[in-house]
């Protein structure tokens, strides 16, 4: 049975990715930080075809202790947070928390998991970036910087890991109906800028995560925009 590690698995997008991979026969490692009950419920929802893993994504020792011996076919780097503010008003903590979670955590996790993939001469890594990392977004200097860096990391790892038969790609969702976006102001106005006239669904991101992670065997180093046509 093939195996996948999904970080940020208890969030709206992560939850749908877990379900999508389980539906397609994968054993799913459900990685979460603190919401044990939600993770347990998710595990039961996929008929216990997986395992719970808990670690602090900002603590490299915690990550190492949890993942050092983990062997998976696919890694989905989905964990992330937002702490929005205009740049002038952004605190050091708001900047550092987002960078440490979204970028540094990705680095620590990928470094450990890719090592085992290199030994196996196979693997696929999918980084969940954001449209904010492609085009920037006012009030999200920290988030945009972290996701832009993830895109650059994706392209670099494609070059470095390709020789080991490891593909590395990124997804760049725009506004997806989720826990992270429900409190964004002016949502109605933002919807008008989307040619499809609606926000995306977490399940739609999950299907892309499966396609890029598993089926698209000759695609690497790419960023798939999931924006309803907003970014072209």
Which residue has tokens 């983990």?
70
Q: Is 231 a domain residue?
A: no
Relative to beta strand 27-32, strand 176-177 is unpaired
Residue 232 forms part of a structural domain:
no
- State residue 181's pLDDT score: 67
Evaluate if residue 14 carries a pLDDT over 80: yes
CATH number at residue 143: 3.40.50.720
Is 213 within the bounds of a domain? yes
What is the model's pLDDT at position 200?
95
Residue 201 domain-assigned?
yes
> Which member of 108, 143, 164, 218 is catalytic?
143
Domain of residue 114: give its range.
Answer: 3-226
Q: What's the rounded Cα separation, in Å, for the pair 152 and 88?
A: 25
Position 109 in a domain = yes
143 a catalytic residue: yes
34 part of a folded domain? yes
* pLDDT of amino acid 193: 86
Report how far residue 30's alpha carbon sits from residue 51's, in angstroms, rounded to the nearest whole number: 6
Count of other CB atoms within 10 angstroms of residue 143: 25
- In a domain, residue 128? The reply is yes
The yes-or-no verdict on residue 11 having pLDDT over 80 is yes
- Asked whether residue 62 is domain-assigned, the answer is yes
pLDDT tens, position by position, 86-141: 999 999 999 999 999 999 999 999 999 999 999 999 999 999 999 999 999 889 99
* pLDDT at site 164: 98
CA 160 – CA 167 distance, rounded (Å): 10
Check if the beta carbon of residue 192 is closer than 8 Å to that of residue 222: no
pLDDT tens per residue across span 143-200: 999 999 999 999 999 999 999 999 999 999 998 987 666 666 677 778 888 999 999 9
Buried b / exposed e across 56-71, counting CB within 10 Å, b at 16+? ebbebeebeebbeebe
Total tally of structural domains belonging to the chain: 1
Give the pLDDT score at 79.
96
Q: What is the pLDDT of residue 8?
A: 96
What does the pLDDT read at residue 137? 87
């Amino acid at each position: 049975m093939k195996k996948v590690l999904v970080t940020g698995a208890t969030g709206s997008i992560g939850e749908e990715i877990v379900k999508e991979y389980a539906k397609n026969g994968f054993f799913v490692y459900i990685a979460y930080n603190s919401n044990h009950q939600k993770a347990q419920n998710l595990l039961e929802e996929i008929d216990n075809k997986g395992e719970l893993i808990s670690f602090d994504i900002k603590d490299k020792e915690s990550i190492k202790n949890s993942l050092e011996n983990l062997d998976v076919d696919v890694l989905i780097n989905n964990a992330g947070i937002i702490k929005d503010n205009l740049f002038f008003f952004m605190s050091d903590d708001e900047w550092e928390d987002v960078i440490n979670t979204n970028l540094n955590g990705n680095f620590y996790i990928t470094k450990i998991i890719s090592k085992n993939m290199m030994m196996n001469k196979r693997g696929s890594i999918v980084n969940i970036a954001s449209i904010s990392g492609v085009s920037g977004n006012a009030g999200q200097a920290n988030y945009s910087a972290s996701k832009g860096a993830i895109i650059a990391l994706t392209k670099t790892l494609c070059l470095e890991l390709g020789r080991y038969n490891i593909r590395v790609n990124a997804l760049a969702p725009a506004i997806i109906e989720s826990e992270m976006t429900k409190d964004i102001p002016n949502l109605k106005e933002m919807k008008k800028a989307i040619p499809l006239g609606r926000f995306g669904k977490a399940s739609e991101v999950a299907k892309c995560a499966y396609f890029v992670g598993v089926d698209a065997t000759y695609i690497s180093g790419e960023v798939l925009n999931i924006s309803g046509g907003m970014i072209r």
